[in-house]
Structure 1
């Protein structure tokens, strides 16, 4: 077995088991109120509508099915000589949708191309497989169509299979030779852009049946499967796909919190305070989920317009193109892209501001609810009854009864010295004035006014065709058409096609850079403004629950499930942090 595991698979298997055990625990609780909560527990970490689509495509007989079999460990995937995949086959792999497609450009079955294209359209990650013999002209054309025309380069991995057919096997030396050969075909992209991985799936399959342990280890190492798994994990982190696997876990976390609150302490004030904190937590959790989804719509709209700008400029490049006109339109298109990026930042601020205002209103409603109005005077009385004040708290020894411990908790977490009230317990303390003003003011440091998408775009990629070279001059990408009367017509068309592809690629890169920038900035904002506040609420809930030392077995079991849930969420988010850093 490979030493590195595919993280998405681990998250789903662990997460689904956690959901199952939590549902069972809640369903068998003595309290009918807690039993009812079991119906709200999600059935799986990632539903079929939200699961990551991992699509395998590429060369006929390149070993796509074998790679899938190695990766998933499924025995029901057919492999062998001939066209083993006549149509797309979809497999559920622990909450990941894995799609096997027919080989493309076999010339034996041209209908396979359309079948494959339909599957690729919905791919989150496309694994394009070729053999060590690399691309023929048909396959190269198909690859470029996917990478550039259909804008899949940023969702694509290139896997070179059957490496032991090389004279030196799957060695670093053999990989370096193939990598250099690939550069000629992949331009304007590079092998590094496409996370190119070299493997031998047959060697990995043989390692599973090899009885000699040492030989099995050698076969597995030579197969290079660990490298493939590593690159898949890196892609998942960079694309932020892990967020699809935390939604159900956040829901479970909230349900377990409510179940814990339902396991009464016997103290009405503590129970009521827990309920108010949980209402606030639920409001924060909803906002944490809604902001990224709302911002995503704005991002996708802008990136779609940016890609369209690239297509319009590329369409101008033909045999009779006027260089000055194309240069001018290219400059204008880049200016429009910069404007789109600036407009996107403003629209994102508006979207976030609206959601923060809604959160502020919702938290205000909780603070002004009948439950809060009835509870707060009682809590103030308990503080006075326990003779606890902000000044005396620092000298307070460990309280021996629940009333004193609760009074100490309230003073430390909620007392506002200027007003002498407990209002701080129910406010979003980070923001002064309205939430809209605070949110818009706060996001500047996350999104950055100086963001320039072109600074991160690889305009240095060149298309080295006869007389046609792309070069950077400031922010202007110029091209030179030196069409000679005796130029070969066929070669001219090839060169023009390459030039159009390079322009489209540049704008696709810009769209991708903007998508990544705003996705990461939104995540950072939500983490700072919302997630940290949820952590504060959780800390207060934990303190409240520790006020009474003796708890039921059910309470302890629920507490254990809650800790497991938080650890899994933390593990998933840690991979995102690694990607950002």
Structure 2
């Protein structure tokens, strides 16, 4: 059996790494190292930054059973009737799993309000129904969540209790249900919502079954592997791994500082290492601050875009004027394009400010008393070691720290074009040039003419509502011609579908814009800062390799550092699959 939820696995691994790091550093003889241990975060995700996974949907659909299968927790109550009277939150290694009462229980109408409050802050929403599918009331709640509240891009649909189907949880039964629910999901599709078909009770039974063959059959009927695979894909697509890497970057920096505290016995090497660590800290903190600063601007713009969609949808009623709606829609699209372009400019200004701050900070490091005192001594060390750029290629392997340091200094600061030693380590430069040159290149990561409408699926299977509107290029033209004998109920249904399609279109545009600028920001940060951090790490590693004799503590911290980097790289590789 597999069915493992990756973000839980990452949290377990990250928290264990934090705990070991704190234990090793707190037991060090050095007071400086002990003080560093107190700055290690307690967990990879704190309560303010935890990932919220909310289960909602039909009452008695088996939400609690699915949650119990996913988490393996035995304290989750399951059974017939309404087992969840209020929301229950379970902390699961940095993930807040929230079980909610069913929506529209005629026995308990107050459950709806309880559930909607929990849904408001969901990162991932799992909407659960059974093989009996939607009645009119449940369909209304689903559409309210997916479209009116713009949760479709954060929602998965799960069909539970599939053993009740005549053909069980088989591909044939799943295909029949997919086709049955398309109209309810419109303007979205089962594929958009990563629809999963499971039987949580079968999965739970498999865990208590003694016969291994029967257990495997029950687990397969449960369909949990497919469900968790969809959940994992969803997490990758949403880029939620970034929340884990933030804490790991903090741990990486602290381990670097702990390594530096294990003195080489050479004050110049120690001072140089300290300057490089200061530079590294400035780069890493800028790398963390830029996406968080940009996120607020993106959310504000996307909220304005969704508001445009609501305004247009409110115009669509039985007495709507086709020309007026059409004109206002075009104006609204133009406003969205303007909002998008303004967002691009704002994002670049925000990033530029942070990069200017970085330049000032790096310049401050280069002009610090430590740097001013150290650089002349390093130049003297090169002369003392009788190492010049011309003799580098013939240099024998150095056997003492002084010669190794001289070799290191020449290799990292020699300018071939001038044939001389340049400014050591580019301490007051960024990527070898002034930072403002890097700032000028921000624009290419965002695209000045990004058009959100080109990526929006306006038609999303709603062409069958053609009696109410038709799609023509990127502009919707409304045909609200009502025959005298038109059925009022059908008309209202068609108008409702049209309003939903408009809101969905603008919500899609907001989602596309959010993804575009999030990805562009991450691409810029990676391009502008990652190589710099890697260069500093390379130099720090070289300096540390000069030590012939290392303490056990040094070796343990070094192993923790490599493990931390390995986990960060893995999380980045997961994100890049969806970049």
TM-score normalized by the length of structure 2: 0.97
Query: Which position in structure 1 is the counterpart of 2:318?
Result: 319
Deviation readout 1:276-298 (Å, 9 max, x if unpaired): 00000010011011000010011
Question: Which residue number in structure 1 is paired with residue 422 of structure 2?
Answer: 421
- Partner of 2:146: helix, strand, or coil? helix
Alignment of 1:471-482 (within 5 A): 471-482=470-481
Cα distance in 2 between the residues matched to 1:467 and 1:451: 30
CA contact (8 A) 1:457 1:506 kept: yes
| Structure 1, 558-567 or 398-407: larger mean CA deviation | 398-407
Decide whether the 8 Å contact of 1:416 with 1:423 is kept in 2: no
Cα offset, 1:469, TM superposition: 5.0
Task: Spell out the pairing of 1:452-467 with structure 2 (5 A cutoff).
Answer: 452-464=451-463
1:486 equivalent in structure 2: 485
Verify the 8 A CA contact 2:469 2:480 in the aligned structure 1.
no
Distance 1:229 1:33, change over 3 A: same
Counterpart of 1:528? 527
Offset from partner CA, 1:239-270 (integer Å, 9 cap, x none): 11111111111111111100100000001110
Query: Does the C-alpha gap of structure 1 residues 144 and 427 become closer, same or farther in structure 2, counting only changes over 3 Å?
Result: same
- Deviation larger for 514-523 or 450-459: 450-459
Q: Is the 8 A contact 1:463 1:469 kept in 2?
A: no
Aligned length: 577
Question: Counterpart of 2:450 in 1: which secondary structure?
Answer: coil
Residues 349-398 of structure 1, C-alpha deviation per residue, up to 9 Å, x if partnerless? 10000000000110010011110111111111111111212222122221
Q: 1:36 deviation in Å?
A: 0.8
Equivalent position of 1:270 in the other structure: 269
- The aligned residue for residue 54 of structure 1 is 53
Mapping of 1:183-202 within 5 angstroms? Answer: 183-202=182-201
Q: Which residue of 1 aligns with 2:409?
A: 410
Does the aligned pair in 2 maintain the 1:459–1:471 contact within 8 Å?
A: no
Unaligned runs of 5+ in 1: none
The aligned runs of 1:11-160 (5 Å cut-off) are: 11-160=10-159
> Separation in 2 of the partners of 1:196 and 1:338?
32
Secondary structure of the residue aligned to 2:150 is coil
Structure 2 residue ranges without an equivalent (≥5) = none
Shift in Å, 1:488:
1.6
For the aligned residues, what is the CA RMSD? 1.3
Q: Distance in 2 between matches of 1:137 and 1:32?
A: 67
> What SS class does the counterpart of residue 241 from structure 1 fall into?
coil
- Per-residue deviation, 1:498: 1.2
Kept in 1, the 8 Å contact 2:409–2:424? The answer is no
Q: For 1:364-379, list aligned pairs within 5 A.
A: 364-379=363-378
Deviation string, structure 1 residues 472-504 (Cα, Å, up to 9, x no partner) = 323212221121111122222121111111100
2:412–2:424 contact (8 Å) kept in structure 1: no
User: What is the match of residue 290 of structure 1?
Assistant: 289
- Within 1, Cα distance between the matches of 2:572 and 2:3? 18
CA distance in 2 between partners of 1:357 and 1:147 (Å): 41
2:166 corresponds to: 167
Higher deviation after alignment, 283-292 or 448-457: 448-457
Cα shift at 1:436: 3.7
SS at match of 2:55: strand
Report the secondary structure of 1:550's partner residue. coil
Q: Contact between 2:298 and 2:343, CA under 8 Å: does it hold in 1?
A: yes
1:416, CA displacement in angstroms? 3.3
Q: Under a length normalisation based on structure 1, what TM-score does the superposition of the two structures give?
A: 0.97
1:438 equivalent in structure 2? 438
